[in-house]
Amino acid sequence: MVWGSTSAAPVLRNPESEIAPADGLGGRRSQSSAASGHALRRWPGLGAARGTGLAWLVRRAALLRTPSRRPGRYAIRRPAAVALAAALVLGAGGTGAWAWQDGRQRPAAALGSARAAAAVSDDASQVSGLTAQAAQAAAQSLTDHSRAQLEQVVAAARAVLDGSAGHVADDAVRTALAAALSEADQALAGTVAPARAATLGASVSTAAAQVAQAQQAWQAAQTAAAQAAAQAAVRARAAASPTPTSSVDPCRTTYTGPPFWTSVPTATGDGSNGNLPASSMTALSWTTDSHGTRFYLLTPAAQALEKLNVAFRAAFGHNLDIDLAYRDYATQVAMRAALGTVAAVPGTSPHGYGKAIDVPELPCEYGWSSVQRAWLLAHGPSFGWVQPAWALQNGSGPEYWHYEYTG
Ligand SMILES: [Zn+2]
């Protein structure tokens, strides 16, 4: 033990070493280090400093008794400090001033740092715990979300499966969908990992899309067959008729007037019938007349007809045929001159307001008893498109080809 020698100075020169918890003696083990020369120059009064040093050790022991959030450290350090105090009492005899003006702050500062480090360590531990909880919650949320998505896909696909019974040409696609649904059901009976849910969802979606496609093809084929049957029936009746017209194709167009084409709006239109401005109108996206002119309608009417056409195409496998749409004033005058009272008085036609279309005057396609007209009358109103009362078969001016937008 060389504690009483003047070479004890490094204790204060390097007080930070005291925070080493595994070393109950702190920096005192370095008291005989070669650095003592420097320490002696800095702390000349060390030889008579033992009494004050005892006071410091007692103070330090008191600090060490400060309740720690880590009892283990306290248990190690307290006996060591007490032992050191005892050793100093035994080796000391004199009194004197221990010149450690700034050094006296260092043990406390070092201990504060140690305690702060412990607090940070505890905080880090808490942050780590919270991070783990957040990660767990996020994982659970992802699992719940992917499960909900899978359940939605399964519900939608089951509706497709149920609605397609007997409505597909080959039932193999429905069998495949049923198998995919069964697999998903089994998985949903327990916990489904997100990746598994995604795989099952994709499988069910693909199978459902194939069923929907097959059903649409089946529907189009049914419609085509019905139309063919209707045309055959009309031809058979015509062939059986004794009238001279029996040799004429009953599906020929019923229009006998001169050709007319649809009109385009002008930029300077004043908004009156047959003089609508282009800014208020929209062209239909899917078709033009035989001159390549686009069919314009008042924008809300055009937008509604676009939606109607989507439904029409889904039912029949082709777009709605358009013969005429907007009709400017000059064309109304020309039509009145050519067709007489069959054409509206110029300036009064619903076509002049951009709110009417004519489908082709083809009786087997769009005629009174045609499947497509029946569909248009059944579904058109939900899109704002109707056949007005005057145009019906028993109306004042029957026109099976004429439809109007009522909003
Ligand atoms: Zn018309």
> pLDDT digits over 34-43, tens only?
333 343 333 3
Residue 136 lies in a domain: no
Residue 75 lies in a domain: yes
Task: Kindly give the distance from the C-alpha atom of residue 24 to the centroid of ligand 1, in angstroms, as a whole number.
Answer: 105
Task: Kindly give the distance from the C-alpha atom of residue 232 to the centroid of ligand 1, in angstroms, as a whole number.
Answer: 28
- What confidence category does residue 5 fall into, taking pLDDT thresholds of 50, 70 and 90? very low
352 with 401, same domain: the answer is yes
Q: What is the pLDDT of residues 157-203, one digit of tens each?
A: 998 999 899 989 999 999 999 999 999 999 999 999 999 999 999 99
78 with 152, same domain: the answer is no
Task: Kindly give the distance from the C-alpha atom of residue 401 to the centroid of ligand 1, in angstroms, as a whole number.
Answer: 7
**Phi and psi (nearest 5°) for 282?**
-135, 140
Residue 315 lies in a domain: yes
147 with 237, same domain: the answer is yes
Q: What is the pLDDT of residues 258-291, one digit of tens each?
A: 889 999 999 999 999 999 999 999 999 999 999 9
Task: Kindly give the distance from the C-alpha atom of residue 351 to the centroid of ligand 1, in angstroms, as a whole number.
Answer: 7
214 lies in which domain range?
141-250
Task: Kindly give the distance from the C-alpha atom of residue 356 to the centroid of ligand 1, in angstroms, as a whole number.
Answer: 6
Structural domain total, the chain: 3
Task: Kindly give the distance from the C-alpha atom of residue 383 to the centroid of ligand 1, in angstroms, as a whole number.
Answer: 18
Asked whether the beta carbons of 9 and 34 are under 8 A apart, the reply is: no
231 with 349, same domain: the answer is no
Q: What is the pTM of this model?
A: 0.46
283 with 385, same domain: the answer is yes
Residue 8 to residue 47: CA distance in whole angstroms: 9
Task: Kindly give the distance from the C-alpha atom of residue 319 to the centroid of ligand 1, in angstroms, as a whole number.
Answer: 19
286 with 398, same domain: the answer is yes
Task: Kindly give the distance from the C-alpha atom of residue 268 to the centroid of ligand 1, in angstroms, as a whole number.
Answer: 25
- What confidence category does residue 222 fall into, taking pLDDT thresholds of 50, 70 and 90? confident
Statement: residue 117 has pLDDT above 50: yes
Residue 155 lies in a domain: yes
Residue 179 lies in a domain: yes
- What is the pLDDT, as a whole number, of residue 345? 95
Residue 130 lies in a domain: no
Round the CA-based radius of gyration of the chain to a whole number and report it. 48
Task: Kindly give the distance from the C-alpha atom of residue 387 to the centroid of ligand 1, in angstroms, as a whole number.
Answer: 10
Task: Kindly give the distance from the C-alpha atom of residue 298 to the centroid of ligand 1, in angstroms, as a whole number.
Answer: 15
CB count within 10 Å of CB 403 equals 27
Q: Which of 3-12, 348-357, 372-381 has the lowest mean pLDDT?
A: 3-12
169 with 219, same domain: the answer is yes
Count Cβ atoms within 10 A of the Cβ of residue 214 and give its class: 0-12 exposed, 13-18 middle, 19 or more buried.
Answer: buried
Task: Kindly give the distance from the C-alpha atom of residue 230 to the centroid of ligand 1, in angstroms, as a whole number.
Answer: 25
